[in-house]
Each structure stands twice: as C-alpha cells, then as structure tokens.
Amino acid sequence: MRHPKFTHRLQRKKRIRSTVSGTAACPRFTVYKSHTRITAQLIDDAAGKTLVAGSTVEAKGKSNKEGAKKLGTLLAKKAQEKKISAVVFDRNGYKYHGCVKELADAAREAGLKF
C-alpha cells in the first residue's frame, strides 16, 4: 500500500497535468525531487520530446535550496541557447515552496518567462 502523502501528490499531479501542456514555442518546465537530487526538464508535449534537461548533479549542487538555485540558472541558460524564452511551469504535484520555489525564482531571474 502506498503512503497517503505520495498518493495525494499523484492526485495533485494528475489535476495539474490535465490543464498544463507544453508546445515547441512554450514548453512545459517540469520538476522532480528525490532524496538525492532535483531534476528539471523543458518538454514539448506536442512532439513528445525533451528539449532541455538538467539535474543538481550536473549543476554541482545538493538536493536543497542552494542546489535548486544553481539548477534554475543552469536550465535557463540552456534554454536561452536553444532560443526558448517562455515556458509553462509544472510543479509536478509538489507544493510551491522551498526547493521548487527557489528553482522557479532562479530560472525567472536568469531570463525565463513563466
């Protein structure tokens, strides 16, 4: 049996994904957190392809707020290299605070528009 916290996150995720979708012009910026790392991707849902991806391992950070800031700036720089300026944020069922908020704020400061 799954933990209630996990099942509630999956329910929130399904609810968010029913409305949030990415295109080539405005991809979906999705976040995943594990105990060891944070990963983020820019996804074109129309083509089913990942355009840009990164993790705290690549950004040389830990799975905390500081690592999330590094990842946000890294992903924004990679997106600008591929000429992507606007994204749709998908928090993946996580609450918008802590690492998720720091990641989003750092990406905004580095030039991505949500």
Q: Using one digit for the tens of pLDDT, what is the confidence trace for 64-103?
A: 999 999 999 999 999 999 999 999 999 999 999 999 999 9
Would the pLDDT of 1 be above 90? Answer: no
Identify whether 13 is part of a domain.
yes
Q: What are phi and psi of 107, to 5 degrees?
A: -65, -40
Q: What are phi and psi of 53, to 5 degrees?
A: -140, 155
Q: Residue 114 in contact with residue 101, Cβ under 8 Å?
A: no
In this predicted structure, what is the pLDDT of residue 59? 95
In this predicted structure, what is the pLDDT of residue 113? 95
In this predicted structure, what is the pLDDT of residue 97? 96
Identify whether 114 is part of a domain.
no
Mean of all residue pLDDT scores within the chain: 95
CA-closest candidate to residue 58, choices 77, 44, 30, 84: 77
Q: For the chain, what is the radius of gyration of the CA atoms?
A: 14
Residue type, 22: G
For the domain that residue 86 is a member of, what is the CATH number?
3.30.420.100
Identify whether 49 is part of a domain.
yes
Q: How many independent structural domains does the chain possess?
A: 1
pTM for the full model? 0.91
